[in-house]
Structure 1
Amino acid sequence: MTVLAVGLLAAVLTVAVTRPRGLPEASAAVPAAAVVLVVGLIAPGRAWEEVQELGPTVGFLAAVLVLAHLADAEGVFRWAGGYLASHSRGRPRRLFALVVVAATLTTAVLSLDATVVLLTPVVLDTARRLGARPAPPAFACAHLANSGSLLLPVANLTNLLALQASGLTFLGFAGLMLLPQLAVLLVEYVGLRLTFRRDLAEPAVPLGADEEVPVPRVALTVLAATLLGFAVSSPLGIEPVWVAVAGALVLATRTVATRRTRVRDLVGAAAPLFCLFVLALGVVVAAVTDRGLGALVAALLPDGTSFAALLGLAAVAAVLANVVNNLPATLILLAALGPTPAVGAVLAVLIGVNVGPNLTPVGSLATLLWRRVLAARGVPAPLGTFTVAGLATVPLGVIAGTAALWLTLTVTG
């Protein structure tokens, strides 16, 4: 039974990673979840509990994806591209630094998917117009989509799972992860600068004039209000999904009325099949965890919240994320930590599953999607370059982020 459960998880992840013939991730996850139930690997009641537990998180994911689509329709990313072009002043190093900031902000507010799907194409077009090498800003988008998602719970699906497990408020989570995020960002900036130093040293040869794009004030105001709503609603016990839905509804009213998007586009932006994939994956992972993998992983995890213990947790999480992808890794690790895990342990795991995926292209679904975006625009992303960039940032990023977390926990008690 354990072998069957692991085999089903492997099949689900293989399809999710390779997407043969363009099949959606749910095409394997839903049948696998059905098999898990039919053969008795997990009881229906246990499966329903898993779906109920993941429901608000998945609903939030859908709402944020719609919000990101609306921001794009309102011209937020075109405006960002114009800002990057005008303020980089034709200097590749300056463009790279601005992209690091833009990718971090986009990931924190609109999630890593917005950075990969919406910001990356804008960054590539901006680099092309400026005549700069595309690799440095492109890799900055990929890395910051993962490692730039530590600060806010809304930045990553893994964060939402960790928030639920830790019992922290929105602001409490942000407060504890501020220093770790800054430490990781410093490592990413220096590591990527060194990795692409030759590309960044090449002088830019502009191919066209800067595009004048008006500031999308309404969209930026709604996004800022939504972000404020997350912070205010958390202490009141209001689920973040309702704040995200409210922000999406407000912006959708204007965007649909002005025909910048259509209702069916909003439905597509919510990625219903991907949401179904996450729910089905949760059922399969629960079966694998209950059938022995959870106990095995739990035996590998160190106890306590000393620096050594936190670093061990982060390291195991980073390795597991690159073996089975960071989303199932998060589900497995949080289950292994037990029903009432220490806050420090949960956040150390989060550092591992968010920073670790930058080591290999299969560590996160966002990275796989990023590679497709680059391929569609004819921009290469060689495995060797990806590995070198990962080695230059991931090990030190995990160590620096964990050290900053330990320091924060020590100071705050």
Structure 2
Amino acid sequence: MNLIAMVATVVATIVLVSTDAAEAYTLFGRLVPIFAFVTGMSVVVNIAAQVGVFDAVTRALETVAPVRAGARRQALWSGLILISIVVTVFLSLDTTAILLTPLAIAVARRNGLNLMAVAFAVVWIANIASLHLPVSNLTNLLALSGGGFTSELDYITAAWVPATIATGIAVAAALVINRLPERITSTTAHHPRREQVVADPLLRPSLITLGLLLPALASPIPYWLSSSVAAVVMVVLAALKRRDLLRLHLIPWPSLLLATAMSTVATAVSVLGGAQLVQAMLDDATPLTIATTGAVAANLLNNIPAFLALEPAVSTTQGYLALLIGVNTGPIITPWASLATLLWHDQLLRAGVQIRWRTFILFGLILAPVAVVVPALSLML
């Protein structure tokens, strides 16, 4: 798949530059900050995980939970859902996927929570609850940069109703799956012993770096700059104290390559006449139709290229919101529909948890129609 994605990227880039160099530069200008952010966060999170940061965080979370077993599990489960929502809303769905997945799995293992339910709760909330703020989802940032909204405040004002409805659906789905029997393959991944984690020379600096990074991501500082600076700090610290941590697999190269290929192909197709075709198909379409089309396109391609391909067909705030509902809440069926899903699955594998893609697809086929249709209908009231 990597070779196919690479060839597709090269061919599409050549076609795009040959037909419309300005469009190619615009595309790359919009995508570079996105992938810089994901790359930086992946480096930070994966180094932090290896030095025991998530073990330290889970111990703190468990410390405040009740001692009695039933109340403890309920409190930890509710806490994980709440944290997932807050991180998704303020720090983006990709941050939730790569930051909270190992944390949630660690908490679930230590306290007897349903691993399958916890894993799905994280990925569903990451995707479906990503409408609230522009920074919640990178497609929201694309809509803002493309002129879909006059300002961040304009976006928040317009999106709060469908965003709240979508988040409620995600939470309800998480509660339902928590009542189902656990059917996943889980192995015990290698984790340092607690004494080694506490003694690791990078533990304290990593905690400080993450502690400074999270509020920075919610500030006016460019999100890609914050994650890139944090990644450089972590790499320098590792180079000085733990060179064994510096490996190429810290960055999810296959996921980034696949998303780049699909985005480039989508834009090339749009320049070659796809934009006119999309405009003709969705001319005077209802928000429900636009949202459904966006969800289907996201699951066939990926949510970022789906947004780029369908963006020429929308021009109003309502149209942009409908498209965002489709490409944000809908891509929970195919593995490649959302970069966050690929990052989530990568973190599961690193934690020794194997969820079959057919299980993910089956649940997605049930949940996606509800997650797309109900918020879209709210735009028509």
TM tier, smaller: 0.7 to 0.9
Which residue is 2:267 aligned to?
A: 286
Q: Identify which of 188, 212, 215 aligns with 1:222.
A: 212
Which residue is 1:28 aligned to?
A: 7
Paired with 2:97 and 2:139, the residues of 1 have a C-alpha distance of: 16
Which residue is 2:162 aligned to?
A: 180
TM-superposed deviation, 1:255: 8.6
TM-superposed deviation, 1:289: 1.2
Q: Identify which of 260, 266, 282 aligns with 1:301.
A: 282
TM-superposed deviation, 1:134: 0.6
Paired with 1:345 and 1:265, the residues of 2 have a C-alpha distance of: 44
Deviations 1:358-399 (A, max 9, x none): 133332233234334334544342445324432443222223
Is 1:314 aligned to 2:307, yes or no?
no
Deviations 1:213-243 (A, max 9, x none): 999985566346424532xx7xxxxxx35xx
Which residue is 1:343 aligned to?
A: 317
Q: Which amino acid aligns with 2:296?
A: V
Q: Identify which of 351, 358, 361 aligns with 2:332.
A: 358
Q: Which amino acid aligns with 2:329?
A: V
Paired with 2:235 and 2:24, the residues of 1 have a C-alpha distance of: 38
Which residue is 1:169 aligned to?
A: 151
Out of 65-74 and 146-155, give the one that drifted further: 65-74
Which residue is 2:141 aligned to?
A: 160
Is 1:134 aligned to 2:108, yes or no?
no
* 2:93 and 2:126 in contact (8 A); partners too: yes
TM, length-normalised to structure 2: 0.75
Alignment of 1:259-270 (within 5 A): none
Q: Which SS does the other structure have where 1:229 is aligned?
A: coil
Which residue is 2:96 aligned to?
A: 115
Q: Which SS does the other structure have where 2:295 is aligned?
A: helix
Which residue is 2:190 aligned to?
A: none
Alignment of 1:175-214 (within 5 A): 175-199=157-181
Paired with 2:50 and 2:158, the residues of 1 have a C-alpha distance of: 34
* 1:81 and 1:126 in contact (8 A); partners too: yes
Is 1:48 aligned to 2:25, yes or no?
yes
* 2:291 and 2:327 in contact (8 A); partners too: yes
* CA spacing shift, 1:386–1:287, aligned 2, 3 Å: same
Paired with 1:80 and 1:125, the residues of 2 have a C-alpha distance of: 10
Is 1:374 aligned to 2:348, yes or no?
yes
Q: Which amino acid aligns with 2:20?
A: A
* 1:187 and 1:397 in contact (8 A); partners too: yes
TM-superposed deviation, 1:331: 0.9
Q: Identify which of 205, 225, 246 aligns with 1:245.
A: 225
TM-superposed deviation, 1:245: 1.8
Q: Which amino acid aligns with 2:225?
A: V
Paired residues in the alignment total: 357
Unaligned runs of 5+ in 1: 1-14, 201-210, 234-239, 408-413
Paired with 1:75 and 1:109, the residues of 2 have a C-alpha distance of: 24
TM-superposed deviation, 1:94: 3.8
Out of 393-402 and 344-353, give the one that drifted further: 393-402
Q: Which amino acid aligns with 1:222?
A: L
Deviations 1:6-52 (A, max 9, x none): xxxxxxxxx3xxx4xxx6x86334322345258x5x33344234323
Q: Identify which of 146, 156, 170 aligns with 2:127.
A: 146
Paired with 1:368 and 1:287, the residues of 2 have a C-alpha distance of: 24
Paired with 2:215 and 2:102, the residues of 1 have a C-alpha distance of: 26
TM, length-normalised to structure 1: 0.70
* CA spacing shift, 1:329–1:226, aligned 2, 3 Å: same
